[in-house]
Amino acid sequence: MDTNNTTVRFLLVGALALALLLPLLLITDLAYERETYYAEARATVIEGWGQAQVVTAPMLRVPVKPGDAVWQISEAEGIRTFAASAARHDVKLEHTLRSRGIFDVPVYTAEMTVSTEFAPDRDDQLDWQNAELIVGLADSFGLTEAELNVNGEALTWQPFSSKETADDGSGLDGLSARVDASEPLQVEARFTVRGAASLRLVPTALQADTTLSGTWPHPSFRGRFLPAEATVDAGGFESTWRYLPLSGLPASWQGDGPPDAFNDRAAVVALNEPVGIYRMVQRSAKYGVLFLAVTYLTLICFELTSGWRFHLVQYVSTGAAILVFFLALLALAEHLPFVLAYVTASTVVCGLITWYVHRMTALRRLTLTAGGVLVSAYTALYVLLLLEAYALLAGTLLLLLGIGALMWSTQRLAEPPPIPGVE
């Protein structure tokens, strides 16, 4: 075998593989572009349905008596807001998919019942008879139902906002209802809100329990306080937060918005979407050079062990088929489950290249070997996509196997040194 000729062929195939990286990068950019379209569709759906919701437990807002000079520097300082002594959230979240073009966006409807108790120490400088119950709500557009019962009496919620009057912008948007707080209050409120992305429940009470269940099978619990108990399965999730009285929690404060001490204790659940199809395609395209290398190494090994010489155009055609796999995966994944799209695209490409090798060589052994290598490579790629934490390890092992096969095929290329006296 002509060593120089073999070296040239190695260099040409290597240069071809590098050249094919350019269209591979274009396919990756296309996946990013399609992901941008999905983000725009998602934003449109959320705008019409409801944003990520933040809901506080009811708080008691009590003004200073008219004519009293205490806290009269600003309107916010003329208000004293009290946290409930105890609160309980019971929330049931049901998700649905809203379509925008070819894109499906998960959103939710949350039905919540909040029970609170108020028995603050009476301050004669405050006007208890003109107090208000207030509830903070991030996106009032998503509110579809609101009920209130105080000491057995049904009351009506009214829109409320104090952000415009707060000097530092720390006011609150939400609902309010006028109450007489001269006596302890037993409050039960019911809300139905629509939202997307996440739901955040702020327990503005000294002691609180929150029970949150839902139908979304991929919840992500976030925040500084994770649930004390949580179960997740294919049918949804159930979670429970328990908040005990802690030092540093204020029983009351000036202004409306709850202090950070309460916000830090929020129960947060996000509708975490599994790794998106576009992210999966982008990750698979990162291994495109590995696919080109494995396939080309297989063909080169065929040349070294069988004596066949494949034309450069045949290498180009094989590389083009590999690139089409990633494009087909992107197109199919927008309409089919990812696993089905992957199986379909890889089956077509593996079949096409295997058929091509058979037509080039008409050798059963080479055809079966090529098909086996391709099936193994695409199976390994799917495993890499599923096991993200071990992707680097698995990819390195796959590359080592390919290099090992190349070394085995090229072990006899070296020319022995001449023996003295022997021509």
Which CATH number does the domain housing residue 190 bear? Answer: 2.60.40
- The answer to whether position 258 is within a domain reads yes
Which two tokens mark 259?
A: 């202090």
Q: Are residues 84 and 206 in the same domain?
A: yes
Q: Are residues 267 and 285 in the same domain?
A: no
Q: Are residues 257 and 286 in the same domain?
A: no
* pLDDT for res 73: 41
Q: Are residues 260 and 342 in the same domain?
A: no
* Domain end marker among 243, 271, 299: 271
- The answer to whether position 414 is within a domain reads no
**Domains in the chain, number:** 2
With the CA atoms of 327, 332, 335 and 338 taken in that order, what torsion angle do they form, in degrees rounded to the nearest 10?
Answer: -100
- The answer to whether position 141 is within a domain reads yes
- The answer to whether position 18 is within a domain reads yes
Which two tokens mark 81?
A: 């807001």
* pLDDT for res 383: 80
- The answer to whether position 418 is within a domain reads no
The Cα–Cα gap between 394 and 72 comes to 67
**pLDDT tens sequence for the chain (423 residues):** 444 466 777 788 888 888 888 888 898 898 888 888 888 888 899 888 989 999 999 999 888 876 644 444 444 457 888 888 889 999 999 999 998 888 888 999 999 999 999 987 777 788 888 888 999 888 888 889 999 999 888 989 898 877 544 444 455 788 889 988 888 889 999 999 999 989 999 998 888 899 999 999 889 898 888 898 999 988 899 999 988 876 567 888 887 778 888 888 889 999 887 667 888 888 888 878 777 877 887 787 777 777 778 888 888 888 899 899 999 999 998 888 888 999 999 999 999 999 988 888 888 888 888 888 888 888 878 887 777 656 667 667 766 776 776 677 666 655 555 556 555
* Domain end marker among 271, 286, 311: 271
The whole model's pTM is what?
A: 0.73
Q: Are residues 29 and 101 in the same domain?
A: no
* Domain end marker among 271, 296, 327: 271
Q: Are residues 95 and 55 in the same domain?
A: yes
- Please write the tens of the pLDDT for every residue from 199-241: 999 998 888 899 999 999 889 898 888 898 999 988 899 999 9
Q: Are residues 183 and 223 in the same domain?
A: yes
Local structure of residue 329 (DSSP, 8 states): H
The Cα–Cα gap between 347 and 288 comes to 16
Give the domain extent around 384: 3-37+277-409
Q: Are residues 337 and 226 in the same domain?
A: no
